[in-house]
Amino acid sequence: MELHWLDYLAFFSYFALLSLIGYLAGRQKNVVAADYFLAGKSLPWYVVGSSYIAANISTEHFLGMIGAAVLYGIVVATPEWSTIIAFTFLIWLFIPFLLTSKVYTTPEFLERRFNSKMRFIFALITLFANVTAFMAPVIYGGGLIVEEALGFNELFGLNEVAIKAGAQTDWGLFFSIFLIAITAGLWAIWGGLKSVAWMDVLTILIMVVGGLVVTILGLIELGAGDGIFSGFAKMVEANKGELGWASDWISQNVTNILNGSESGDYYNRMSVLQPINHDTTPWTHWVFSFFYLGLWYTAINQHMIQKVFAAKDMYNARMGMVFASFLKLLLPFIVVVPGLIFFAMKPDFLFSGSWDLMSEEANKTYILMIGNLVPVFLVGFLLAALFGAIQSTVSSVLNSTSTIFTIDFYKEYINPKVSEKQEIRVGRMAGTVILLICIVLAIVLTFAKINIFVYVQEMYTFIGPPFSAIFLAGMLWKRINGRDAVIAVVAGLALSIIIKFLVFFPLADSTSAFASFIKPFANQGLIVWGFTSAVVLIMGAITPPADEKNVGEGLVFNFRKINLGGGLGKKWYNSVLLWWGLGFAMMIAFMLIFSVFV
């Protein structure tokens, strides 16, 4: 991609404005730990919602999800739209519940409900997840963008001539990874959550506007002078396999999409409801994803729920998540539809014959669309949107990871008498070390041929289900004690490891019905969640009940006392109920449109 000087102007103007916001938001003296780790609990609803979604959008979306849409179709929008179900539980049950507990971190909450062992296990797994599933792949994807856009591969000698001569080490990508990590993590380390959250408002604005520009320009290109609606019709026609080449491609590659299928089997790329043997997103995701994944990701995943903890009050927390719901509804038109458009453009790599090569090349879809469709200056603007996606995720995860290390490890086990100023200092030091570890892991990922979306989803469904199971069971049933929860989580994580071993080794080449069912990672998550739930419920029935101190107010659901009706808005136009209901209805409408009518 060759950039005009106006593109550089747009890109660095965005970066300068972002840095100014980060500086202004974080310049106050952080003398109280809550100021650094929870933004002084001062965030209004539009910042809560923006920061929540900005932390969620990353290179997994702009590279991985768009690339996955090229290969799998509209179904990859399912994780975005089905999240509204998880947000519903968060808005109506978990926000009032968690805010009542008045904690900094979710491991801290799990200690109060269960025991210190559960806090340690969850904090340790969270650190692992944040590094391997959140930051490292995002930094790796960001490195791909920076290298491609700014030409570091040429600058560092890995051009076409060098590749033909046998060069292997991509120093340009390594430098890009280092650059993106440092620039993304700087303000999170310096200014804490307040800097991160207020920068995210600008980031989400740039990402939404920039992303829609690519979608619109792509449809105009497909329309070939006949307009956007003509382009949309051609996109649907190709993705439904109504063109000869598209039908042939689907017939040849369905075996890579539906486990156990044969060449020529039917596959509808324009449906969000797919059979249970779908490789990435079977229909079970709609029905059960909240239980095995959504609960962990939305309610007890520290780098997401930390924004809710930082809200001004109950209303701003709830309305923030309603705002986040509408952003989630919009996201597939930014990070899925471009993939459908690119498929309809019939890119050469689709006919390489190798699914692995297609998966690798599909990661570059968004960059290619920007380079081919977008005029001068807007290219820099859209690269800024991509940078914003990287920056916001890395900053948020880095802040939450340093929070967990400081509160759940350093303060808990190393220096219980640490002052609040020392907590802030330790948090900054921890953030720096964690960032360096993520840089190393991102470099390791450069040697793997992966689709970022698939890699991240695999990690989510490996880590989240056991904790979703014990959290839900522990909130609903007082009998479950800390020992029950620890045994169930260890058993669930062990089963996750066993399943991965089966999938990658004994069942790798199997086309049996059992292999076809167990290979989709969504089904793996459901199996582990169901198993962990069964273990913890059986343990709860046969072991002594939990101590009274572990089931007090704010630790177990008490529908008679919980403030389910508070913080709902005083006027009809700012009613949480009204806007949540509208968002939920839109989710159902999208599901029907892309499963029945298209």
CA torsion, ordered 149, 12, 52, 101, to nearest 10 deg: 130
Q: Of 446, 320, 267, 336, give the one whose Cα is nearest residue 62.
A: 336
Residue 311: strand, helix, or coil: strand
Instruction: Quickly state the pLDDT bin for 156 (edges 50, 70, 90).
Output: low
Structure tokens at 588: 């159902």
386-406 pLDDT tens trace: 777 777 778 778 878 888 888
Q: Is the pLDDT of residue 214 over 70?
A: yes
pLDDT recorded at residue 561: 63
Q: Is the pLDDT of residue 35 over 60?
A: yes
45-87 pLDDT tens trace: 999 999 888 878 876 788 778 989 999 999 999 989 999 998 9
**How many residues would you count in the chain?**
598
Q: Determine whether domain 5-597 maps to CATH 1.20.1730.10.
A: yes
Domain boundaries along the sequence of the chain? 5-597
**pTM assigned to the model:** 0.85
β partners of residue 278: 258
85-131 pLDDT tens trace: 989 988 988 888 777 776 767 888 888 889 999 999 998 998 888 88
d(CA 334, CA 80): 11
Within a 10 A sphere around the Cβ of 453, how many other Cβ atoms?
Answer: 29
Instruction: Quickly state the pLDDT bin for 320 (edges 50, 70, 90).
Output: very high
d(CA 214, CA 220): 10
d(CA 127, CA 586): 35
Q: What is the mean pLDDT of residues 161-167?
A: 42
Q: What angle do CA 389, 444, 404 make, to 5 degrees?
A: 60
